[in-house]
Chain A
Amino acid sequence: MWTLLTSSSNFVLESLETFAESTGVATLIESMGWRPLAMIVVAFVLLYLAIKHKFEPLLLLTIAFGMLLTNLPGANMYHTELFAGGHVHWDIFVANAGLLDYLYLGVKLGIYPCLIFLGVGAMTDFGPLIANPKSFLLGAAAQLGIFLTFIGAYALGFTPDQAASIGIIGGADGPTSIYLTAILAPELLGPIAVAAYSYMALVPVIQPPIMRLLTTEKERKIKMRQLRPVSKTEKILFPLIITVIIALLLPSAAPLVGCLMLGNLMKECGVVDRLSKTVQNELMNIVVIFLGITVGATATADAFLNAQTLKILVLGVIAFAMGTAGGVLLAKVMNLFLKEGNKINPLIGSAGVSAVPMAARVSQTEGQKADPSNFLLMHAMGPNVAGVVGSAVAAGILLAFLA
Chain B
Amino acid sequence: MIFQAVTWGWSEILWVSLIGFALVFVLLVALIFIMKGFGACFRSRTTSLPGQPAIAPQPMISQEEIAAIATAMKIYRSALHDRESEVLTILSIKRAYSPWNSKIHGLTQLPDRK
Contacts and interface: CB of A to CB of B under 8 A. Distances in A.
B34 A245 contact: yes
- For the complex, would chain A's binding face be called helix, strand, loop or mixed by DSSP majority? helix
B27 A133 contact: no
Contacts of A139: 28
B76 interface: no
A245 B12 CA distance: 28
Contacts of A146: 21
B28 A137 contact: yes
A159 B21 CA distance: 19
Interface in A146-176: 146-148, 150-151, 154, 159-160, 163
A249 B24 CA distance: 11
A401 B22 CA distance: 14
B28 A390 contact: yes
B13 A397 contact: no
A47 B35 CA distance: 44
Contacts, number: 111
A237 B38 contact: yes
A326 B33 CA distance: 22
A246 B10 CA distance: 29
Among B10, B32, B35, the one with the most A-chain Cβ atoms within 10 Å of its Cβ is B35
A159 B3 CA distance: 14
Given A134-B32, A375-B63, A160 B8 contact: yes
Contacts of B43: 228
A130 B35 contact: yes
Given A134-B32, A375-B67, A401-B1, A393 B17 contact: no
Interface string A216-260: 000000010110100101100110011001100110000000000
B32 A150 contact: no
Interface in B63-113: 63-64, 66-67
Among B2, B27, B60, B63, the one with the most A-chain Cβ atoms within 10 Å of its Cβ is B27
B56 interface: no
Interface size class on chain A is 35 or more
B14 A250 contact: no
B27 A246 contact: yes
Nearest to A397: B20
B44 interface: no
A390 B24 contact: yes
A389 interface: yes
Given A130-B39, A231-B46, A234-B38, A223 B63 contact: yes
A6 interface: no
A241 B34 contact: yes
A306 B96 CA distance: 76
Interface in B22-54: 23-25, 27-32, 34-36, 38-39, 42-43, 46
Interface string A112-154: 0000000000000000011101101101110110111011001
Contacts of A18: none
Contacts of A250: 23, 27
Given A147-B17, A234-B42, A373 B63 contact: yes
A139 B27 CA distance: 11
Contacts of A245: 30-31, 34
A400 interface: yes
Contact of B29 (A129, A136, A246): A136
10 contacts: A129-B35, A136-B29, A226-B61, A228-B43, A245-B31, A249-B30, A393-B23, A401-B1, A402-B3, A402-B16
Given A150-B13, A237-B38, A401-B2, 12 more contacts: A129-B35, A133-B39, A136-B32, A144-B21, A148-B17, A226-B60, A234-B42, A241-B34, A397-B20, A401-B1, A401-B16, A401-B20
Interface of B: 1-3, 8, 10, 12-14, 16-21, 23-25, 27-32, 34-36, 38-39, 42-43, 46, 60-61, 63-64, 66-67
